[in-house]
Chain A
Amino acid sequence: MNLKLKIWRQKDADSAGKMVDYEISDVSPDMSFLEMLDVLNEDLIAKGDDPVEFDHDCREGICGACSLQINGEPHGPDRGVTTCQLHMRKFKDGDTIYIEPFRAKAFPVVKDLIVDRSSFDRIQQAGGYISVNTSGNTIDANAIPVNKHDADKAFDAATCIGCGACVAACKNASAMLFTSAKVSQFALLPQGQVEATDRVMNMVRQMDLEGFGNCTNTGACEIECPKGISLENIARMNREYLAASLKG
């Protein structure tokens, strides 16, 4: 199929960017979206133009590297998939496809479609860990009984790959779904109780410092999340925050 592409091009973080039109022909419906961009880049390189820069790594939906706002939605029109898992069969011959970087003050554009998502790393560093004695007296994690329901919920939260689709989809560029998943995966487990109070306070403080917006419960993040992270996590984070605030 033949497609028209409108792609955000930006030389570097300090330069102004703009949407640039491209045409690509003979696209196979079996290609992944990233493979389609690979083909476009080969054409651009052959013509002596700069290829379109975009993030990618595992190309099987588990690393969270690929991003892209495609036709106004993070990771494109499909549900429960990352951009690398999106196939061209989801588009029609003659379609015009808008391809933009994830937009947020806390996700500055590095080049073209690549954004700096290290703000997520700093939120993790602020409290997304547990203290475990690893010097000679390590306790096997499986020796600590965990309620099956809680274990499942913690695992669900831990499947967040930190891709940033929640921020990209949210009209407020809020990172509360990501932060709440990282709070929840520990809050639900006995190992996470030691730092529970500090964790939520520090991670929320860091989230605010990074310049993310406030959650207004539109639910867009949950719909667009490739891993199906639930809004339940945001409610849990709010409870954790309330409890931590009352403890002082």
Chain B
Amino acid sequence: MKFKTMLTLFFVGTLLPALAQSESEVYMNFPITVKGYAGDKTDSASYSGQIARHLLHNSLKKLAGKGNGEPNEELKAKMMAYYAGTDEGREILDPKSKDGFAIKQTMIDEISKGKELKGKTYKGAVNSWPGYMTGPEVLEFLIDKASSANKGYDPITGYDYGQLISKFMMGAVFYNQAVDNYLDERLTADKNPNDKPYKEGRHYSGKEHVWDEAFGYFGAPAHAIDLEADQAYSIAKRKPDVMAAADHNSDGVVDLKTEMTYAHAYYAADADKGGKTSYLSDITGAFIDGRKLITAADSNALTDAQRAELMTIADTIKMKWEQVIAEATFKYAGSVYKDLQKLIAIVEANGDVSDAFRAYAKHWGELKGFSMALQTSGKDLGETAVKINRLIGFSPVHLDGNQVTGIDGNGNYMTASGSSMAEYMVHMVKLQNLLGDAFNLTKRKNDATSQLADLIESVGASKGAETD
């Protein structure tokens, strides 16, 4: 064999697999496998519709904090345009470019046209919120209330509408669509078959796009696996020191389609900071594994064995995604616990509670929103959901021990005397224990009882096998 031939074989045999390996770390540059595709696309990965929805959600959250405390039809209409509208010309209100962190796009249409959130919202009953409403009804109700609240905050009920809308929407739209639709029924053999384009003329197959859409809803940058957890976290915060890490293609701007961190990917990164968990890389890695499996089928129908393997990967994603939401719920239960401790001390000292109560309302909104999101997977959480809802209630416990118990026929809140703030602290402890056990949590940030567990471990179990 000639030297040149041997060299070529060596190159093909060793370097190419290595190159392929490095490419596989990014959720992009998947080859076009659709037979007969004649267009000019070279990457079959496509999830711009999901990114557009992330930007609608981000913008809606921004708008939720724009109210002045008076009914405001104009604000409400604008919020609804981002929730239910499909009109062109909607500006991206968040994230925007800032010094040291340049963003490529400024309009939703630059990402994808005609996208809305309402049609993708979980249609089931939302038992975690008063009023016997469906997912879209709850969000429209909250949007209405937010538009007439002062910067999204109602000091009477303790509701932070921006947080409630955002955290619930992440579950009701992104999580629900991904785990109850794309990673569930859309993976069956007869739905979106892999031997056909997703739609006529598209450059991706049915299963390729289904999988991409689920990945898009997760909200991770395409190169998430190459990022440290705190980098992925800081990208969402638009911190200039992670600009270089965010700008994967080094074109000097952050592409919102592939280089930004959104929604639950952001909370996965938040949990992963410190290294106790690896939700972000685990979930992104699983998405890449699944996409490789589908791509390798080369636009042939998936065999039963291939689909079974894909379902196993999907189950891993579902489980870890659920844990990410449960970890966030756990964290904010701990925040609420600390807020209550501070509030009680201020009340006892006859101090001004307004700032402390505002922080309590914010954290409670996050807690409630995440706990509601947890219940939108389409999976029946059974008694766990019942207990979560009972422990949190429909509103934060007010200083006088009142709590929202329902909504009357006019859409006004009804309150009644419930637990004291001290008892509500115990609810938070019980809630953390429940979440930790039910979802097998590891990070457990803001754990109100971590010290108990640590001390019990250092003292050692009393098994009673010794006597005197």
Q: Do A and B bind each other?
A: no
Binding site for B on A (CB under 8 A): none
Binding site for A on B (CB under 8 A): none
